[in-house]
A and B are shown apart, each in its own frame.
Chain A
Amino acid sequence: MDMTNVATEMTDAAPHLPSHGHSQAAGEPKFVTRGVTVHYGEKQALFGIDLDINTNEVTALIGPSGCGKSTYLRCLNRMNDTIPICRVGGSIELDGENILAKEVDVVHLRARVGMVFQKPNPFPKSIYENVCYGPRIHGIASGKDDLDEIVERSLERAGLWKEVKDRLMEPGTGLSGGQQQRLCIARAIAVDPEVILMDEPCSALDPIATAKIEELIDELRENYTIVIVTHSMQQAARVSQRTAFFHLGDLIEHGDTDQIFTKPKNEKTQDYITGRFG
């Protein structure tokens, strides 16, 4: 089966995306979530989360392992739909529209809310194919030249263009871990999403690669709203403007990063960021 052909064929069927004008000013809420609960079968993983995520800001989700950070993040683009036993309650509004409603098209939603995973997971195809996959299935590019341009721009923005411009046809899986993760970011921004979700994007990387990604996140903030899950306090402090602290499925505290790290109101937050547990 020729994957390329299939991809082009399916392009026609994909819904046409409205161009997203990233018009909101920084600081306005992009996501408004109220009373978000999640059950995995019988087990409840989130107990009513009320959190706003602001436009063109980086929001860091921190908290001890198993507290529900990933679960919350995956609610934001309905990736939890892929887990059969998972049930989500409450309301999550993206630009005022409840995305948990039945009639919301998840394909469209995921084009608006991209995701970068903990472990770099490029498709086992060429670097070029990796980046052009999204634009292709969503029918964004208007031709080969347009597609080439999108690929170049995305790789450029992900800070990978210089390193791979001579080997676009080589497999994406042949890159180093850090390069693979930047490729995944390039892949995510190729469809020009409004929000990028990142679940511990640097946990599989060495310090230098991590620094590159952090730099990148800071640059991307200008155009995108970013939500990042991280286990590193330093990273949260370095890259984010707002921080939310989760504990045992509850949102304990959230606010400006500076305030959370310097004057936490809650004792648990204090204990966690000073490394007394977690």
Chain B
Amino acid sequence: MSEVVQVGTPSAAGRPVAVRDTKALVAKSLKRRYAAERRFRLYGVAAIAFAGFCVAVLFVTIFSNGYTAFWQTNIRLDVTLYPQDIDPQGDRSPKALSTANYQKLIKQAFGDLFPDVQNRREKRKLFDMISPGATFVIRDMVLKDPGLIGKRVQISVPLSDDIDQFAKGFIKAETPESERRVKDAQIDWFQRLKDRDLVVTEFNSTFFTAGDSREPELAGILGAIMGSVFTMIVTLAISFPLAVGASIYLEEFAPKNKWTQLIEVNINNLAAVPSIVFGLLGLAVFLNFFNLPRSAPLVGGMVLALMTLPTIIIAARAALKAVPPSIREAALGMGASPVQVVFHHVLPLSMPGILTGTIIGMAQALGETAPLLMIGMVAFIVDIPGSPVDPATVMPVQIYLWSDSPERAFVERTSAAIMVLLCFLIVMNALAVVLRKKFERRW
């Protein structure tokens, strides 16, 4: 195909004009366009691949660091529940049962396995191998069924976190004894326990059923999960209606003047305020002025609601604006009142967008730490909160606290907690997709 521009065909006016070989030119430009398109697609694929790679690295690192936290090295002990130790009075009163010296029973049972250890210092080392949580296991058993007293029971109790880490291979026998937390003698005893088939690796259910603890093997994430759940409920309950109401008013009813413009600019500014500032505000207003309880999900939720408000408002206004004006006109023309227009037509149509914005805001709030530090949600709290006014911490703060702990066993628990947090985020985002689909099906 010729690419030469032919000249010379006379025009109607008699002057020669350039006649283009349009086909060839188009073919040439097409080639360029296709090349540009291919290049663009390539960039896109490369960007996605890079992002996917980063996510994969992140997930693999977290998973490989953390999956071991879901298992716990336990020991099977045969414990004799001597009545004279548990309940010397013999009245089976709950007070006596709950304050009895169960540690003695454990020590007795464990010491019996190693009759050769007599020296006091050696004995101390030996008993260090068992988690202090073992006594609670026995106590709970007895409290549940006092009839067990006087019998011999077999229980599975956690070994201490150091032994657990040794069993999992994170503490190595090759390291010089002075540099590791597990002593040679303990390694020897552990080997003997293994030879006698008393060591079992079990699913670490404690991790999902307990609150925080100084002992890694007794520490769990449930307290933080409940804290996060209560905080999120408060945040959602405050920010969703406020934000949707505000955006409906601003978008559908407010006059467009200087004041509403000022409000709009300030809402956008609010979205850019660093989250720690909201924490300081919460500290000054909610705690110091209104005297609300410190460390409580109620206050945390209120602070995070302030932070989430602008996000939802901006998304909701965009969603409301996207509803075609013809729908409003149709409804108004039918004699619907402005409020009916909004609630029957505009709001349902903008729901997918509003929900997406809300869930993005909530996911942001779920991962927020800084403002919660300011209002005391960073405390060490063992009890699982039962209501929004109980002291609590939240998952990201729990992760922060554990990552700061010196024990090796908290490293894997940190990663495990991150996994749990990520699961929550994935569930929330999946929920966003499902809700959007559900509302979109209504066209």
Contacts and interface: CB of A to CB of B under 8 A. Distances in A.
A181 to B, nearest CB: 12
A188 B330 CA distance: 10
A125 B343 contact: no
Contacts, number: 78
A171 B340 contact: no
Contact of B331 (A10, A123, A188): A123
B443 A110 contact: no
Q: Taking each of B256, B333, B335, B349, which has the highest tally of chain A beta carbons within 10 Å of its own beta carbon?
A: B335
Nearest to B343: A6
A117 B443 contact: no
B330 to A, nearest CB: 4
Contacts of A84: 255-256
Contacts of A191: 334-335
A1 B333 contact: no
Interface string A102-142: 00001111110011010101111100000001100110000
Contacts of B343: 1, 6
Contact of A3 (B324, B330, B332, B344): B344
A82 B330 contact: no
A111 B330 contact: no
Nearest to B336: A137
A15 to B, nearest CB: 10
Given A1-B347, A1-B351, A84-B256, A124 B337 contact: no
A3 B343 CA distance: 8
A134 B335 contact: yes
Contact of B340 (A115, A137, A188): A137
Contacts of B345: 3, 123
B335 A117 contact: no
A114 B334 contact: yes
Contacts of A7: 344
B132 interface: no
Given A121-B326, A171-B443, A110 B332 contact: yes
A91 interface: no
Contacts of A179: none
A106 B332 CA distance: 9
Interface residues of A, number: 34
Contacts of A82: 328-329, 332
B35 interface: no
A79 B333 contact: yes
A70 B396 CA distance: 59
B133 interface: no
Interface in B303-329: 324, 326-329
Interface string A161-201: 00000000001010000000000100110010000000000
B62 to A, nearest CB: 39
A55 interface: no
B366 to A, nearest CB: 25
Contacts of B335: 106-111, 134, 137-138, 191
B443 A124 contact: yes
Interface in B343-370: 343-345, 347-349, 351
A173 B443 contact: yes
A7 B347 CA distance: 13
Contacts of B327: 121, 123-124
A111 B332 CA distance: 10
A211 to B, nearest CB: 24
A107 B345 CA distance: 16
Q: Which 7 A-B pairs have the closest CB atoms?
A: A110-B335, A115-B333, A121-B326, A124-B443, A111-B335, A121-B330, A134-B334
Given A107-B335, A110-B334, A137-B334, 15 more contacts: A1-B343, A1-B347, A7-B344, A82-B329, A82-B332, A107-B336, A107-B337, A109-B335, A117-B329, A117-B333, A121-B326, A122-B330, A125-B443, A134-B335, A137-B344
30 contacts: A1-B343, A3-B344, A7-B344, A10-B340, A77-B333, A84-B256, A106-B335, A107-B335, A108-B335, A110-B333, A110-B334, A110-B335, A114-B334, A119-B326, A121-B324, A121-B326, A121-B327, A121-B329, A123-B327, A123-B330, A123-B345, A124-B349, A124-B443, A133-B334, A133-B336, A133-B344, A134-B334, A171-B443, A188-B333, A191-B335
Interface of A: 1, 3, 6-7, 10, 77, 79, 82, 84, 106-111, 114-115, 117, 119, 121-125, 133-134, 137-138, 171, 173, 184, 187-188, 191
